[in-house]
Structure 1
Amino acid sequence: MTMVLRFTPLFVALAATMPQAQANDEAPEGFVEGSSLNVLARNYYLNRNQRLQGVRDNREWGQGFIGKFESGFTQGTVGFGLDAHAMLGLKLDGGGGTAGSSILPYSTTSKEGYAYGKAPDSFSNAGAAVKLKAFDTVLKAGDLFLTNPVIAGGESRMLPQTFRGFSLANNSIEGLLLEGGQASFTKLYNQSGRQRIGTTYGALPDDRESRHLNWVGAAWTPAENLSTSLYGAELKDIWNQYYFDLDYTWQLSELVSLNPGLHYYHTQDTGNALLGKIDNNTYSLHLALNVGYHSVTAVYQRVNGNTPFDYITLGDSVYLDNSQIYSDFNGPNERSWKLKYTYDFAGLGIPGLSTAVSYSRGETDLTKADPNSAGYARWYSAEGQNAQHWERDADLAYVFQEGDFKDLTVRLRWATHRGSQGYSAIDNDVDEYRVIVDYPVNIF
């Protein structure tokens, strides 16, 4: 694989900050002195009861281990380091009749797109990235854990998703992060091998693929309780995607605050337009009222475009307020809303225990989907003029505060989704629950 470093505006900006940062650059801790090794043991059970006739239910249970080593940087003007990781997934339950929940690998996919077949007893993956640091700027190349609005690895399953490429980040200015990079391959959360980067909702032609994704962005905290970010990405021969957000917390008193916020994406086809014509503007608005240990949030979300809001394959780069446990509420021309309530039981003298419940509802006109956008043909429905769906979600989590199990987290998640006849072809009717136990171990 050949990676070409382009002089984007981000790299020019990073270079411009280096002279100012040099005088304040602190000596690195050292390769060994700054090293750490952590292991996360994650036990994951997912039961997805498919309500459609003829569709298999999915029930899988697995034990995952995620080990991460991060070195410090060597002494000198340019410091060198190494990050490495290894992952192991073990099947505890999941036969051929219930496979396909997305926790474990699957061996076969039906012509309707449903996964089945007996999952292997284990699967694993390992990777590493070399890194260089100079003047508050860090360059990494290799296997990366990435988290930003245009390329974020999925963290919602037993094992995380990773990317292969390079990244560059600069923190010379307090409160400002500048970053960019390129990724060509991804390791999905339920697979051992790597594949070219694609999209979650689009279907690429069998003989075509995108070669890489380039991104550049900035995250800024100009004042206390105020944050904003601006990102741009190019998924070669598929789309250019731009993102903006703004979030502010207005502290009315010691116990009461208001939190308004905005997330906005614009996606436009580019190059060979492998998924056809795309002209999509998607945004969400939220307003949260926080009173003591209680919080109530109202959300409005809108997709303006005849294709769904799409993002990187099975990742978490969908920074929208109405992306739920099961559905993203991101269909073509979809309008949706949500009400959410959260409570921290520290208010009742039980620190570490928290809960959240929400209800979301959406409506879309699928008949307006662009017939020339062959990559999104699965969204077309003659019965989808006023397609509607809703989802109920509940989350209960406890983090042990002390003792031998300190920091161990037990999380229970429930989701119920229902859709009208036109919408059920997109997001099935399901009853789903998950049991997730995380136990982090700091080795050094």
Structure 2
Amino acid sequence: MSITLKLSPLFIAMAVTMAANAQAADDSSHEGFVEGAYFNLNARNYYMNRNRQQHTDDNIEWGQGLIGIFESGYTQGTLGFGVDANAMLGLKLDGGGGTDGSSILPISDGNGKAPGSFSSGGGTLKMRALDTELKAGDLFLNNPVIAGGMSRMLPQTFRGVSLTNHSFDGWLIDGGQASFTKLYNQSGHQRIGTSNGTLADGDKSQHLNWAGVAWSGLPSLTSSLYASELKDIWNQYYYDLDYTYAVNELISLNPGLHYYHTQDTGDALLGKIDNNTYSLHFTVGIGYHSVTAAYQRVNGNTPFDHISQGDSIFLDNSQQYSDFNGPNERSWKLKYAYDFAGIGVPGLTSAVSYSRGTLDLNKVDPNSRGYANFYNAEGKNAKHWERDVDLKYVVQGGTAKDLAIRLQWATNRGGNGYGALDTDTDEYRVIVDYPLNVF
């Protein structure tokens, strides 16, 4: 594995902080390499049925995933050292013969059938000095500009270097560089690409750099600021602010903002990008009920784009099927959620939402190097809507404690040129997670 790290000013500052902390580190703060170790195993059963109304066949996949994660503690001393490791196995239970393609299983090699199994493994070297941690190797990342997430059977991981610091109360300082990624449904690693852009043959970004800070210094108020560079494609900046105000013991109010700015950089492999995307939400909680209204806007003739398959789209209207992130898209959402603990069934939660978006596709540059597939001369007032139902139950005790069963249903319909982007679709998911803390 070869990693070239470009030292940003934030990285240098964090390294200086680590060195200063190392001088004052207390050996007793380290739990020990063995004493601080743990191994978790998650068995995830995942079924997805994506029924495309205008297609003659559906995308149906069913698989069993096994995800093992080991993390050691740190050795004693001024600098503590440790190792992490992960192993993943995906087994095909159903899918193939024209039904694969919903991203649970690997994409078929042309014979119409997904392989019976796929697997991957990785390791990470880590070092800690008091409140600063440096990792190099295979990383599980989850921030607004680079996130793998768990929206499929197996998680996406990244190969690179990360540095985090918690020296200041209420603050997280975060930075790193990733050169490769392992996608949800793949065994091997590849260069990091984008979800919506189409690169020319041979074009690729060498790495993604990121740096950011997250703050939670006041009760019920959080904020974060991140910047990233996907080399020769874009610079992306993110800001959020979220506040929860308790009116009384029963009622709470929660306004929030998410904002991204994306600008082409370097060789601009996807062409010109100048995109400002934001979402606003306001949630009213009354006991075990909550109602959320959200508005989202994409200002730009390209879609709001993010890394391939990743969950680094921290926007309010990012739904099960659609992210409502098309060029010049304006969307709103209304969501109702209920926690059944209110009627004596703890662990059972539900949510129902309706989202609607309008796009202007005839402003997209038809000669764009990366986003010409979004162009539609008749798409000035393209529309689509999505209805989502989500029901989840987590076992609260006994031998099956933490076993989680989740049912998801999404219906997406479009018109006035939206068919150029997608087709009318019904999507069903059944997800069963059984996490085990081995030691």
TM-score by length of 2: 0.97
Q: Distance in 1 between matches of 2:105 and 2:351?
A: 27
Cα shift readout 1:130-176 (whole Å, capped 9, x = no counterpart): 00111311110011100000000131000000001110000111110
Distance in 1, Cα, partners of 2:30 & 2:367: 55
Please name the residue that 1:90 is paired with. 91
1:136 aligns with 2:131: yes
Matched, 1:437 2:423: no
Structure 1 pair 158/145, CA: closer, same or farther in 2 (3 Å)? same
| Residue 34 of structure 2: aligned partner | 32
Counterpart of 1:127 (choices 122, 127, 131) is 122
Correspondence 1:297 to 2:298 = no
Q: Distance in 2 between matches of 1:6 and 1:211?
A: 12
Residues 21 and 136 of structure 1 are in contact (CA less than 8 Å); yes or no, is this contact kept in structure 2?
no
CA contact 2:22–2:79 (8 Å) conserved in 1? no
**Matched residues in 1 for 2:266 and 2:285: separation?**
46
* Cα deviation, residue 6, structure 1: 3.2
SS, match of residue 314 in structure 1: coil
Classify the secondary structure of the residue corresponding to 1:375.
coil
Could you give the per-residue CA deviations for residues 301-341 of structure 1, whole angstroms, max 9, x where no partner exists? 00000000000000000000000000000001100000000
Match 1:423 to one of 374, 397, 418: 418
Aligned equivalent of 1:309, options 304, 307, 321? 304
The one-letter code matched in structure 2 to 1:358 is S
Paired letter, 1:57: D
1:8-27 matched pairs, under 5 angstroms:
8-18=8-18, 19=20, 23=24, 25=26, 27=29
1:53 CA displacement: 3.9
1:398 equivalent in alignment to 2:393 = yes
Equivalent in the alignment of 1:105: 106
SS in 2 for 1:333: coil
How far did residue 107 of structure 1 move? 1.7
CA distance in 2, matches of 1:203, 1:61: 28
User: 2:38 is aligned with what amino acid?
Assistant: S
Does 2:155 correspond to 1:160? yes
Q: Post-superposition shift, 1:16? A: 4.6
Equivalent residue of 2:11, what SS? helix
Displacement of 1:201 in angstroms is: 0.3
Distance 1:229 1:144, change over 3 A: same
Aligned residue pairs total 437
Which of 142, 146, 151 in structure 1 is aligned with 2:141? 146
CA RMSD of aligned residues (A): 1.3
The residue number in structure 1 matching 2:170 is 175
Deviations 1:259-316 (A, max 9, x none): 0000000000000000000000000000000010000000000000000000000000
Tell me if structure 2 keeps the 8 A contact 1:108–1:117: yes
Picking from 40, 47, 63, the partner of 2:49 is 47
Q: Choose 243-252 or 92-101, whichever is displaced more.
A: 92-101
| Residue type at the aligned position of 1:176 | W
3-state SS of paired residue (1:12): helix
TM superposition score normalised by structure 1: 0.96
Q: CA deviation at 1:372?
A: 4.2
Counterpart in the other structure of 1:6: 6
Distance 1:53 1:226 in 2: 47
Q: Distance in 2 between matches of 1:427 and 1:155?
A: 24
Give the deviation of 1:9 after TM superposition.
2.4
- 2:12 and 2:122 map into 1 onto residues whose CA distance is 30
Q: Which amino acid aligns with 1:175?
A: G
Q: Write the letter of the residue equivalent to 2:137.
A: G
Q: Which runs of 5+ in 2 are unaligned?
A: none
CA contact (8 A) 1:42 1:436 kept: yes
1:213 paired with 2:208, answer yes
% of aligned pairs identical? 70
CA shift digits 1:373-396 (9 cap, x unpaired) = 220111001120100000000000
The one-letter code of the counterpart of 1:387 is A
User: Would you say the 8 A contact 1:277–1:372 is kept in 2?
Assistant: no
- Provide the residue aligned with 1:201 in structure 2: 196
Letter in 1 for 2:81: F
Residues 1:407 and 2:409 aligned together: no
Q: What is the DSSP-based 3-state SS (H/G/I as helix, E as strand, rest coil) of the residue aligned with 2:387?
A: strand
Q: Which runs of 5+ in 1 are unaligned?
A: 110-115
Contact 1:332 1:369 in 2 (8 A): yes
| Corresponding residue of 1:380 | 375
1:346 aligned counterpart, secondary structure: helix
Query: Secondary structure, in 3 states, of the residue corresponding to 2:10?
Result: helix
Q: Is the 8 A contact 1:196 1:210 kept in 2?
A: yes
